[in-house]
Amino acid sequence: MQEIIDKLSSGLSLKMKDTTANPAPLGLCGFGMTTVLLNIHNAGFYPLDSMILAMGIFYGGLAQVIAGIMEWKKNNTFGTTAFTSYGLFWWSLVGLIVMGKIGWVPAPGNGAMAAYLFMWGIFTGILFIGTL
């Protein structure tokens, strides 16, 4: 320890190197696969069921939140914001669907869902500008 203190006091600096894995593939796969499954449902190929909701909770939601936290550790503000936000998007979307179906609260109407998705569209547009 004294050797490190001596080096620092003599003007040399130590730099820590981040050797953790890149979390972006996890976050992108979580978002992409969950989105594709939901859109296959939207195209009418199968009903909204537990497969889509589970993907929204765990892979689209939890995996992206974890990726966002890992991006924060890497000091990547954009990755943190994008992955954490989209992970919470999936959790909130599943919450909107499930809470309405089990009767905790009234299900959102078409206008409310349009406003919800419109806000996420604006957010996505802002992030798109940030990528340029």
Domain ranges of the chain: 23-131
Q: What is the pLDDT of residues 79-109, one digit of tens each?
A: 999 999 999 999 999 999 999 999 999 999 9
DSSP conformation letters of 64-108: HHHHHHHHHHTT-HHHHHHHHHHHHHHHHHHHHHHHHHHTSSPPP
Q: What is the pLDDT of residue 37?
A: 94
Q: Using only C-alpha atoms, what is the Rg of the chain? A: 20
Q: What is the mean pLDDT of the chain?
A: 92
Contact 74, 66 (CB under 8 A): no
Cβ atoms of 64 and 29 closer than 8 Å? no
When pLDDT is averaged across residues 73-81 and rounded to a whole number, the result is 95
Tell me the angle at which helices 77-102 and 63-73 cross, rounded to the nearest 10 degrees: 160
What letter represents residue 130's amino acid?
G
